[in-house]
Amino acid sequence: MRLEHKKNNVCFTLGGATLEARTSGALWWPDRRVLTVSDLHLGKSERIARLGGAMLPPYETEDTLTRLEDEVTALEPETVVCLGDSFDDQAVAKRLADEAVLWLGRLMAGRRWIWIAGNHDPGPVELGGTHLSEWPDLPLVFRHIACAGASGEVSGHYHPKAVVNARGRQMSRPCFLYDSDRVILPAFGTYTGGLRSTAQVLSELMRPEALAILTGPVPAVIPMPGRLV
């Protein structure tokens, strides 16, 4: 597996396709002009409040869409793929504020927009675009949850994070997990937790040579913490 740093982003190949792990947590396929994001979890604060949970500041949808718009503006993709759990539940999609609906409409205009079904939003939403369980665009396949034995797979769902030591302190950073079979994207949404890469399910999915590509202003590439050897 070969990686290359390019303008603070990390380029790598998967199934013969050259991809770019962006510092934002988005994935860019320049040859096909495909931008992929995972786990937006739009409306999470509304769902938590609706179910009697903590009253979180209701600004995560605005922040998530702002960062998504930044990527769309910078890259001008022909296709945008949202890898599932774009909304925190189906009710959120129906209650999305008019401003957010119009905002999404502006982002979707003039390009193909693919909503992959996730476990939080398994049904279609009335926001246009194409709604699929998975999307094959050879040599890659895009789905929400990784499948054992897959090849050329791009997925999300697990919100992977890696714990690293920095100046004597442990820090957790969202990351891409990458090996010769697959890449698992970090969550793009503002109000999202994460699963440490040491979790058994991730260790079992990823090959021994797996790498963690840490997001943030200065990306870093390290051996995947907790991988099985």
* Nearest alpha-carbon partner for 81 in 150, 136, 10: 136
CA distance 9 to 125: 32
Q: How confident is the model at residue 127 (pLDDT cuts 50, 70, 90)?
A: confident
The amino acid at 146:
A
Q: Classify the phi-psi angles of 180: left when phi > 0, otherwise alpha if psi is within -120 to 50, otherwise beta.
A: alpha
User: What domains can be seen in the chain, in order of their start residue?
Assistant: 3-223 (3.60.21)
pTM of structure: 0.90
CA distance 92 to 215: 28
- The whole-number pLDDT of residue 106 equals 95
CA distance 51 to 195: 23
Cβ contacts of residue 81 below 8 Å, gap of 6+?
A: 34, 35, 36, 37, 114, 116, 135, 142, 154
If you average pLDDT over residues 158-173, what whole number do you get? 81
Three-class SS of residue 183?
strand
- pLDDT tens-place string over residues 216-225: 888 889 999 8
- pLDDT tens-place string over residues 16-63: 999 999 999 999 999 999 999 999 988 654 544 444 444 445 567 888
Alpha helices in 96-221 (DSSP H): 98-108, 200-205
Residue 87's Cα: distance from chain center in Å?
A: 13
- pLDDT tens-place string over residues 205-218: 999 999 999 998 88
Three-class SS of residue 201?
helix
Q: Up-side HSE of residue 19: CA atoms within 13 Å toward CB? A: 30
Strands lying side by side in the sheet with 112-116 = 3-6, 9-14, 17-21, 27-29, 34-37, 79-82, 112-116, 130-132
Extract the tokens encoding 196: 């440490």
